[in-house]
A and B are shown apart, each in its own frame.
Chain A
Amino acid sequence: MNTDNRRRIKDNIILSFFGIQLLMLLIILSYMVGILIIGGIHVISWKTVFTSMLKGGLFETIIGTFLLFSGTAILAAPIGLGAAIYLSEYASKNNKIARLIDQAINNLAGVPSIVTGLFGYTFFVKILGFGISLMSGWLTLTIMALPIIVRGSEEAIRMVPKEFRETAMALGATKWQAIKDNVLPTATPGIATSIILGIARIAGETAAILFTACALTMRGLPRTPFDPIISLTYYLFVILVTSPSTSQNKAYTAAIILLSLVFLLNLVAIVLRAHYRRKWRR
């Protein structure tokens, strides 16, 4: 057996070992998620979804999650997009403030969600006096969604070829006109992807809203943004931590709804991103 063969066999053994780890990992993960889905698939019913919690349903939690991420999206998307446009179009790389902003975004991304929640509690809930409410939740979650939206939008905008701006401006358009009419429409899929990913992250968040937006007291649906809500995540958390053996059916239902929501959002984002990356592959 010559060295070539010997080495080829060694190569195969080592790389197969790695491949087996990957396979086992995927199997274990799929099994775990599968158990959840199987456990809940036969108890889920449209009735539960639309019944109020006072009557044993999950309606308020779904509305809560929805209100939470919609409001955050409305707040965070413009701010995030604006920041992204500023960073990629208006600020030169050497600008000290631009680098500071970049640093700030990186730092924000690294803050643990519970710490953001602590800040939200002390600042929005207590000091600004919004109380435990949708509003406090929106503001806290915006802090978490911003880095995702800014980074993703920045990438999408930077991918647009230089010529798009130069041609427009050579024809006499101002910088903003060039951006508004040429760059942004092209970058829209990428920007949309980042917003969707931001929403997906928010929809699954628990720690940050634990004491900023959620309360167990049942008062039905929130009537103003200053009312608290219950989200799918908060509901699951409370149920599983306080009463693990009872109400399992509702827990599975909530989990499946949450999982489906997050998976769907991520799937859309992945597909969108694959589509526009292929288009602009440099």
Chain B
Amino acid sequence: MKSKVETVDLNVWYGNLHVLKDVNIQIPERKVTAIIGPSGCGKTTFLKTLNRLIDLVDNARVEGEVKLDGKSIYNPGMDVIELRRKVGMVFQKPTPLPKSIYENVAYGPRIHGVNNKDELNVIVEESLRKVGLWDEVKDRLNDSAFALSLGQQQRLAIARALAVNPEVLLMDEPASALDPISVTRIEELIKELKKEYTIVIVTHNLQQAWRISNYTAFFYYGELIEYGPTEKIFKTPEKELTFNYVNGKFG
């Protein structure tokens, strides 16, 4: 099975703080990989190394390799803009941009040079349909995105990321701020999306990881403790630490 994203001996420092230690992982194509582990143990940092959003952190240092489709993304000649188009990200807070619903989704394509009104219309409709928002908002595309509910805003954020036609979708606790109904909708959406996209999702909700992921990676204070098919990690993990965590022995 092809690995879409791969890290080799990945290490990250924030100043003198060693945040990620020797992470070696192969993330398979078109599957959902869940990243679990206690809070503050580098899960978000790990995600940020995959789309080089870590470049924006002032005193961060990255060593090792991160490969997308076999090619290292930290090479000096790498087109970071193209990388970020291919590897999209959805954050915990939906953060709608201060624009209309339409313009939120159209923002990505616009900055990549798509200015033709017809093209944009198609892209916006397609993206909104994919996240199940189209019927809900098609009559008020010009309304401010702030008028949407939190659950809708998060689906909008996903549509926004999809609008640039990525191949990988990174999701950082996308449902943790939402009510139970919205959470279910997002989880259903993710299960649909994995048919087309490779998804890496950070979650502190173990039941969620169990429900939606094919593979699970357990991170503990910057180290990848164990990684494998979700069923194995949850039912018959190899490491005691993993066992204790998935059975709720510690937070």
Chain A residues at the B interface, C-beta cutoff of 8 Å: 2-5, 7
Contact = CB atoms under 8 A, between A and B. Distances in A.
Contacts of B82: 2-4
Nearest to A7: B81
Contacts of A2: 79, 82
Contacts of B80: 4
Contacts, number: 14
14 contacts: A2-B79, A2-B82, A3-B79, A3-B81, A3-B82, A3-B112, A3-B113, A4-B78, A4-B79, A4-B80, A4-B81, A4-B82, A5-B79, A7-B81
A256 B78 CA distance: 56
A269 B203 CA distance: 48
Overall SS of chain B's interface: loop
Nearest to B113: A3
B71 to A, nearest CB: 14
The 8 lowest CB-CB distance pairs between A and B, nearest first, are: A4-B79, A2-B79, A4-B81, A4-B80, A3-B81, A7-B81, A3-B79, A4-B82
Contacts of B78: 4
Interface of B: 78-82, 112-113
Nearest to A5: B79
A5 B113 CA distance: 15
Overall SS of chain A's interface: helix
A4 B52 CA distance: 13
A11 to B, nearest CB: 11
Contacts of B79: 2-5
A2 B82 CA distance: 9
Nearest to A2: B79
A7 B85 CA distance: 14
A4 B79 CA distance: 5
B195 to A, nearest CB: 29
A2 B79 CA distance: 7
A5 B80 CA distance: 9
A197 B136 CA distance: 55
B77 to A, nearest CB: 8
A236 to B, nearest CB: 46
Contacts of A7: 81
Contacts of A5: 79
Contacts of A3: 79, 81-82, 112-113
A7 B113 CA distance: 12
Nearest to A6: B81
A2 to B, nearest CB: 4
A3 B80 CA distance: 9
A2 B81 CA distance: 9
A154 B80 CA distance: 47
Nearest to A3: B81
Nearest to B81: A4
Given A4-B79, A4-B82, A5-B79, 11 more contacts: A2-B79, A2-B82, A3-B79, A3-B81, A3-B82, A3-B112, A3-B113, A4-B78, A4-B80, A4-B81, A7-B81
B8 to A, nearest CB: 23
A2 B76 CA distance: 13
Contacts of B113: 3
A211 B81 CA distance: 64
A4 B113 CA distance: 13
A108 B223 CA distance: 60
A196 to B, nearest CB: 33
B200 to A, nearest CB: 23
A4 B81 CA distance: 6
A3 B81 CA distance: 7
A5 B78 CA distance: 10
A4 B82 CA distance: 7
A3 B78 CA distance: 11
A5 B81 CA distance: 9
A14 to B, nearest CB: 15
A62 to B, nearest CB: 48
